[in-house]
């Protein structure tokens, strides 16, 4: 009972802060140019478990515009995690290639980014609901010139991300293991230079466990993003479909 109260006290103020910051960012951007777009993201996510405490996650995320069907971004993640009680600490490397910011403007090149990152999260159980708070630090090395490799010349930016997430089990099997869960999250991101507000993401996902090795996750993401160095904003509606592959060693 005491743990539940602590989880509530920890989670609710942070969630309120996230909502307030999101509303403030929308108010600031009200008079600016906003580009409305529709996309779909296809994602493969593998979870390799070495022990109850150590897990290696790998992800391939292909992001495309709906109409016309044009490549927006390709992201590859690899990160190692260590869990202890209610805490999880992770770190890894992300590779990103942006091909087009607008579907009508296809580019002959891709802007590359190398992104070492570290994160820490805490999870609390309140009744049947799981609450998670996560902070991630993205060290972004963005390609400055399409003619020069990102490894030779880049623009550095530190991005700080906070995510509040709720996981609600909807259906369990005979052993009380969740088979279908609803996951709701809100993530807000800030930069340490250039435009301070980076973006806000609201995520609604249905987690469907097929068996002990595979899950599928259909979902919807609303993304509101301030373009780097430009007073323009993207308002994006995203349909996302993920395949989760669990491997135990």
Other beta carbons within 10 Å of 167: 19
Over residues 124-135, the pLDDT tens digits come to 999 889 999 999
167-187: pLDDT as tens digits: 999 988 877 778 999 999 999
- Whose structure tokens read 């005979």? 174
pLDDT at position 105: 77
Q: Please count the structural domains in the chain.
A: 1
Asked if residue 227 has pLDDT above 90, the reply is no
pLDDT band at 26 (very low <50, low <70, confident <90, very high): low
Between these two residues, 3 and 205, which has the higher pLDDT value?
A: 205
Span 214-232, average pLDDT? 92
* Cα separation values, 34 from 37, 98, 122, 226, Å: 10, 19, 35, 9
d(CA 124, CA 143): 39
Within a 10 A sphere around the Cβ of 30, how many other Cβ atoms?
9
For residue 19, the SS3 value is: helix
Average pLDDT, the chain: 88
Quote the pLDDT of residue 23.
Answer: 54
Pair 41, 62: CB distance under 8 Å: yes
Question: Which residues, other chains included, contact 29 with Cβ-Cβ below 8 Å and sequence gap of 6+?
Answer: 224, 226, 233
Rounded to whole angstroms, the Cα distance separating 11 from 195 reads 27
Cα separation, 180 vs 224, in Å, equals: 28
Q: Given this model, what pLDDT does residue 5 score?
A: 42
| CA–CA gap between residue 156 and residue 142 (Å, rounded) | 6
106-123 pLDDT, tens per residue?
777 899 999 999 999 999
Check residue 135 and give its pLDDT.
Answer: 97
| Of residues 53 and 102, more confidently modeled | 53
CA–CA gap between residue 118 and residue 16 (Å, rounded):
24
CA–CA gap between residue 118 and residue 123 (Å, rounded):
17
Q: Which residue segment(s) compose the domain that 164 sits in?
A: 2-248
* 3-state DSSP assignment of residue 107: coil
Give the position of tokens 């530190």: 158
Coil, helix or strand at residue 43: strand
Q: How far apart are CA 74 and CA 3, in angstroms?
A: 40
Strands 232-248 and 33-49: parallel
pTM score over 0.75: yes
Residue 15's pLDDT is what? Answer: 53
């Amino acid at each position: 009972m005491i743990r539940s109260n602590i989880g509530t006290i920890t989670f609710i103020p942070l969630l309120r802060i996230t909502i307030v910051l999101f509303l403030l960012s929308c108010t600031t951007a009200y008079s600016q140019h906003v580009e409305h777009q529709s996309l779909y993201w296809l994602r493969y996510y593998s979870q390799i478990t070495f022990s109850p405490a150590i897990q290696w996650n790998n992800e391939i995320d292909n992001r495309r515009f709906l109409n016309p069907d044009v490549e927006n971004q390709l992201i590859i993640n690899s990160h190692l995690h260590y869990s202890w009680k209610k805490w999880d600490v992770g770190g890894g490397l992300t590779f990103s290639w942006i091909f087009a910011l607008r579907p009508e403007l296809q580019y002959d090149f891709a802007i590359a980014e190398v992104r070492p990152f570290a994160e820490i999260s805490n999870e609390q159980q309140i009744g049947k609901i799981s609450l998670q708070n996560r902070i991630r630090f993205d060290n972004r090395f963005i390609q400055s010139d399409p003619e020069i490799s990102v490894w030779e010349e880049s623009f550095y930016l530190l991005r700080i991300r906070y995510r509040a997430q709720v996981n609600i089990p909807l259906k369990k099997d005979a052993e009380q293991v969740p088979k279908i869960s609803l996951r709701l999250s809100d993530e807000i991101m800030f930069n340490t230079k250039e435009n301070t507000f980076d973006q806000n993401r609201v995520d609604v996902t249905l987690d469907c466990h097929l068996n002990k090795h595979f899950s599928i996750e259909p979902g919807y993401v609303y993304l509101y993003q301030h373009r780097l160095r430009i007073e323009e904003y993207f308002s994006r509606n995203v349909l996302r479909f993920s395949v989760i592959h669990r491997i135990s060693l």
